[in-house]
Structure 1
Amino acid sequence: MPDTSPTDQPRRRQARGERRIAQLLEAASTVFSTTGYTAASTNAIAREAGVSPGTLYQFFPNKEAIAIELSRRLMHEMREMYGEALAPVDPEDTLEEIVGGAVDRFIAFNCDHPVFFSLLHGPDVPGTLDAEHEALHAALLGRVEALIASLLPEASTGDITRTAQVCLGTYKAGLELVLSHTGAERDAYIQEIKNVLTRYLEPLVGDRLGRPSDRTATARS
């Protein structure tokens, strides 16, 4: 018989537990996206996961705990994603490429994880997630401000914050439309978001990074 370490069995139990948690969270994602948080139940989540309610309760005491764990994992993933999406831009990129690349990454994340929008933008945000979501929004706003500041080096702090807020607000308004459509219609809404953001920013930053438009002063007056 092969030698086994005394820690092998606990490690196997831990691995099985992690797989079970992932299974439950995936099922919860489906249920929350389909029915909303309020209408969801632990029985429905267990049924979707193909386990008994008793098995679910071994890992989570209630649906709020499930929603909080799921949301925190997705917020962590989103922080990693927007770190890449809002990284310093290549000075050779056009404004359309800068906007399009960022929008595509954010849209892809939300389309891959529709439960993120359901839980954090719905009317019934569970537990303490409101404060955590506000912190995520503040961090995201800071990254957008830093990107815009690199495009508008002469702009005031107030102008940069205002521009960043308008960009985020425009994106969030369009995101709801994107998530409520599929196929070619969804693609059309994504393109509309890119068009709106590009046309809003173009008078401020010019056609290309590093070549400010002559209309900047007019736009800010």
Structure 2
Amino acid sequence: MPDSQEQQEKEQPPRRRQARGERRIAQLLEAAANVFCTTGYTAASTNAIAREAGVSPGTLYQFFPNKEAIAIELGDRLMHEMRETYGEALAPVDPVTPLEEAVGAAVERFIDFNCEHPVFFALMHGPDIPGRITEAHDALHATLLSRIEGLLSAFLPDVSPADLTRVAHMCLGLYKAGLELVLAHEGAEREAYVRELKNVLVRYLDPLVGERPGRPDIAMTTNP
């Protein structure tokens, strides 16, 4: 007869052990996300993560050797989900799509993701993120810029590649600056900042886009 939980788990069928392991990893990652958001990556500890997860440090070490490994696994999963998000948010649009509509849809998709996963901002934009996450973030950043350029090209078909890249960099920089303000607020105030962020992006792009067939008057579609 097994005399410990560990022995019982070892004697379970492999598929059941694997399922239990995945649930435990998900539990630890959720706890780590809470700790990283609360204290930041540097101040976080494996003991704090284990305590947040309601398990012993020994249980945590069965799955992760240190907090960097936890952060990397969490970052990898968030990166994968973010790639799916920007694939949908920055899909090519019809050139006659109103600029306000295209900007609004992209901003809302990304804001929803970051509000649902606040740890993404904490890990990706903190001053002390692990090296491997930094490399992955740089790759994501480059791909994201490329997708923004693809989206903008529908509105700026005659702009040179260099100018298009510059505009994409500006849009992403404006978004990141606005995102920090959005995440710092909640409720109606957060919604107000989201609206301001959309307005900033639209008003920056509007003079560059100019008049296009089928485009509504900007004054009728943005807030003052």
The normalised TM-score by structure 2 is 0.87
Matched-pair contact (CA < 8 Å) for 2:90–2:148: yes
Change (3 A) 1:208 1:105: farther
CA contact (8 A) 2:114 2:121 kept: yes
From 89, 92, 98, the counterpart of 1:94: 98
Question: What secondary structure sits across from 1:98 in the alignment?
Answer: helix
Which AA in structure 2 matches 1:172? K
Equivalent of 1:13, from 13, 17, 23? 17
Unaligned runs of 5+ in 2: 1-11, 218-224
Cα displacement string for residues 127-185 of structure 1 (whole angstroms, at most 9, x for unaligned residues): 32111110000000000011111211111001100110000000001111111111111
8 A contact 1:68–1:127 mirrored in 2 = no
Counterpart of 1:44, as a letter, is: A
Aligned length: 205
Q: 1:155 corresponds to which letter in structure 2? A: V
Query: What do residues 20-75 of structure 1 show as CA deviations (whole Å, max 9, x unaligned)?
Result: 10010001000100110011111111111111111000000000000010011001
Where does residue 72 of structure 1 map in the other structure? 76
* 2:209 pairs with 1:205: yes
The correspondence of residues 168-179 of structure 1 with structure 2, limited to 5 A, is: 168-179=172-183
Q: 1:82 aligns with which of 79, 86, 105?
A: 86
Q: Residues of 2 paired with 1:208 and 1:105: CA distance?
A: 25
Cα gap change, 1:187 to 1:175, in 2 (>3 Å): same
From 18, 34, 58, the equivalent of 1:54 is 58
| 2:39 paired residue number | 35
Give, in whole Å, the separation in 1 of the partners of 2:89 and 2:213.
16
Q: State the distance in 1 between where 2:85 and 2:36 align.
A: 22
Contact 1:110 1:117 in 2 (8 A): yes
Aligned residues: CA RMSD: 1.7
User: For 1:171, what is the secondary structure of its paired residue?
Assistant: helix
Structure 1 residues 163-202: aligned runs within 5 Å: 163-202=167-206
Question: CA contact under 8 A between 2:183 and 2:190: conserved in structure 1?
Answer: yes
Question: Secondary structure of 2:92's partner?
Answer: coil
In structure 2, what is the Cα distance between the partners aligned to 1:64 and 1:9? 31
Conserved 8 A contact 2:28-2:50: yes
Which amino acid letter does the alignment assign opposite residue 82 of structure 1? Y
TM-score, normalised relative to structure 1: 0.88
1:45 corresponds to: 49
Matching residue's letter, 1:84? E
Q: Distance in 2 between matches of 1:158 and 1:91?
A: 21
User: Using a 3 Å threshold, how does the CA distance of structure 1 residues 148 and 63 change in structure 2: closer, same or farther?
Assistant: same
3-state secondary structure, aligned to 2:154: helix
Answering whether residue 129 of structure 2 is matched by residue 118 of structure 1, we say: no
Shift of 1:90: 3.9
> Hey, which bits of structure 1, 4+ residues long, moved more than 2 A?
90-93, 206-211
- Deviation for aligned residue 1:126: 1.5
Please, which runs of 5 or more residues in structure 1 have no aligned partner?
Answer: 1-7, 214-221
Structure 1 residues 103 and 209 mapped into 2: Cα distance closer, same or farther (>3 Å)?
Answer: farther
